[in-house]
Chain A
Amino acid sequence: MTIEGAPDRAPAIHIRGARLAYGGRTVFDDLSLDLPAGRTTCLLGPSGVGKTSLLRLIAGLAPAGTRGTVESGDGASLEGRIAWMAQTDLLLPWLSVVENAVLGFRLRGDTPALAHARRRATDILADLGLGDRIGDRPATLSGGMRQRVALARTLVEQRPVVLMDEPFAQLDAITRLSLQDLSATWLRGRTVLLVTHDPLEAARLGHLVHVMTGSPATPGDAIVPDDVPPRPPAAPATLAIQATLLRRLADAHAGDRA
């Protein structure tokens, strides 16, 4: 496409020797995880297992008490190649929808690229069904709309690596399904880590799904379905994956109690 149109080649990401301890409890230790290049890896697990901390470690936002190395498959630094989408939309209330979507360019003071980013943001927002709301303030939008703006902001960044931390957890079921479809389409070809506690979400969106369980937690072996996401929510194959994931979660739960 244009000079800064498509993201540069998405690298694989390798986490080695990750450790998180707080309050005398070891959440995980010597943990390894590989995110294959250009694929969506889902990290599923119960609350408090350290999924978010692992994601933040990659994002460079590791909380105190976290250790570990994060390397890219192509050996280049990951700085400036990551987009992050949190559970809350983190929209700045004083900026309009479209200015929130191009926040990265504003914050970097990247004035030359700003006009182009605005055009792309307008296109993406229109695709997400917000074409008539781009001048509005976030406070006037519903929760689902706000999260769509956050998704648009993540996409406008055009980063090869995208980290999503339970991005759709606070949405109603129908909105969640439609946003899952949209993000799977838009994020094709990028290296994505999606942290979730929803087995159906992982079953729909993951090229690979890790179920992170135990204490200290491990990501386990990946479940690798042979078809391509996004999978239809009611398809037998999707439901079969979901059943497998639920079983693993339940086994781990039973194991914890024994």
Chain B
Amino acid sequence: MSVPRALVVAAGLIAAWEALVRVADLPHYILPAPSRVAAEFVGRADVLLLHGLSTAAEIVLGLSGGLVLGALTALAMVRFAAARRWGLPLLVVSQAIPVFAIAPLLVLWLGYGMASKVAMAVLVIYFPVASASYDGLRRTNPGYLDLAKVMGASPWQILLRVRLPAALPAFAAGARVAASVAPIGAVIGEWVGASSGLGYLMMQQLARGQTPLAFAALVVLASMAVALYFAVDAAMNRLTSWQPAIDGETRS
């Protein structure tokens, strides 16, 4: 979608929202008008910044941790038969447990601080990254492996120089999914129990009828999530620049 068109759509939606609130004369604690939410950005910028930074740190740490752990798990499962035999069922079973249901446990074990939110984000991200990377590592073109074998490459060299780069597009797909779910993990963690963060700020302000500030927090959170996605997407495109674009569009 082109940028001008996206801006027009956004402006139209905001205008419709503003009109709805004014025409229906909705109270601000039910649905604040966009102009009212915008006022919060000016008046409460310090609060939003403080909690935004806290959530951003949780998301970035959780995303990094989840990507690294997921990729390492996939590597271990491809390289070692024992890791595959024991790890694969564990991975599948771990996904049967709704991660959100154990959020209270994480808070119980890791406390109200940042650690429980980072752990939550890591858990949400871990599976898509591990399974996408594992799939990618397993699906190396068998011809590449034959060639490497005839050339006398060791299994480690084959893993590092053939399977790993060949799996990068799959890892990139996993990382894109991870980037879009990481904020969810962090915010769920904040809802269950926290002393800072945008999720915490939203819960607190909603309980006090300060809906406009909660909406402002939501806008910050959404902007962060979108920025994160595009940043990760750009990084992954760079990492797999050799791969022809799937949709037929050329990449810059």
* CB neighbors of B among A65-96 (8 A): 79-80, 82-84, 86, 88, 90, 92-94
Q: Which of B141, B152, B158 contacts A104 (CB 8 A)?
A: B152
- B146 at the A/B interface (Cβ < 8 Å)? yes
Q: How far is the CB of A155 from chain B (nearest CB, A)?
A: 13
**A contact set with B: CB distance below 8 Å:** 59-61, 79-80, 82-84, 86, 88, 90, 92-94, 103-104, 106-109, 137, 139, 157
Contact call A60/B143, Cβ cutoff below 8 A: no
Q: For residue A103, which residues in chain B have a CB less than 8 angstroms away from its CB?
A: 147, 151
Q: For residue A108, which residues in chain B have a CB less than 8 angstroms away from its CB?
A: 151-154, 157
Q: How far is the CB of A158 from chain B (nearest CB, A)?
A: 12
Q: For residue A94, which residues in chain B have a CB less than 8 angstroms away from its CB?
A: 165-166, 168, 240, 242
- B22 at the A/B interface (Cβ < 8 Å)? no
Q: How far is the CB of B12 from chain A (nearest CB, A)?
A: 41
Jot down 15 A-B pairs with beta carbons below 8 A, ordered by A: A59-B150, A60-B149, A61-B149, A82-B150, A83-B150, A84-B150, A86-B143, A86-B146, A90-B147, A93-B242, A93-B243, A94-B168, A104-B152, A107-B152, A108-B157
- B115 at the A/B interface (Cβ < 8 Å)? no
User: 10 smallest A-B Cβ distances: which pairs?
Assistant: A107-B153, A104-B151, A94-B242, A84-B150, A90-B143, A94-B165, A93-B242, A61-B146, A90-B147, A107-B151
A90–B150 Cα distance when bound, in Å, is: 13
Q: For residue A139, which residues in chain B have a CB less than 8 angstroms away from its CB?
A: 242, 244
A237–B168 Cα distance when bound, in Å, is: 52
A59–B152 Cα distance when bound, in Å, is: 11
Contact call A88/B144, Cβ cutoff below 8 A: no
Contact call A157/B151, Cβ cutoff below 8 A: yes
* CB neighbors of A among B117-170 (8 A): 141, 143-144, 146-154, 157-158, 161-162, 165-166, 168
* CB neighbors of A among B204-252 (8 A): 240, 242-244
Q: For residue A61, which residues in chain B have a CB less than 8 angstroms away from its CB?
A: 146, 149-150
Residue of B nearest to A105 (CB): B151
Contact call A92/B144, Cβ cutoff below 8 A: yes
Q: Knowing that A92-B166, A107-B152, A108-B152 are A-B contacts, what are 14 other residue pairs whose CB atoms are under 8 Å apart, sorted by A's residue number?
A: A61-B146, A61-B150, A82-B150, A84-B146, A88-B143, A90-B143, A90-B144, A92-B144, A94-B240, A106-B161, A109-B154, A137-B242, A139-B242, A139-B244
Q: How far is the CB of A58 from chain B (nearest CB, A)?
A: 10
Q: For residue B144, which residues in chain A have a CB less than 8 angstroms away from its CB?
A: 90, 92
A160–B105 Cα distance when bound, in Å, is: 64
A88–B143 Cα distance when bound, in Å, is: 8
A157–B152 Cα distance when bound, in Å, is: 11
Contact call B150/A107, Cβ cutoff below 8 A: no
Q: How far is the CB of A86 from chain B (nearest CB, A)?
A: 6
A201–B150 Cα distance when bound, in Å, is: 25
Residue of B nearest to A103 (CB): B151
Q: For residue B157, which residues in chain A have a CB less than 8 angstroms away from its CB?
A: 107-109
Q: How far is the CB of B183 from chain A (nearest CB, A)?
A: 31
Q: For residue A104, which residues in chain B have a CB less than 8 angstroms away from its CB?
A: 151-152
A82–B147 Cα distance when bound, in Å, is: 11
Residue of A nearest to B158 (CB): A107
A86–B168 Cα distance when bound, in Å, is: 24
A245–B154 Cα distance when bound, in Å, is: 41
Residue of A nearest to B242 (CB): A94
Q: How far is the CB of B209 from chain A (nearest CB, A)?
A: 56
A129–B90 Cα distance when bound, in Å, is: 53
Q: For residue B151, which residues in chain A have a CB less than 8 angstroms away from its CB?
A: 103-104, 107-108, 157
Contact call A86/B153, Cβ cutoff below 8 A: no
Q: Which of A79, A86, A88, A137 contacts B152 (CB 8 A)?
A: A79
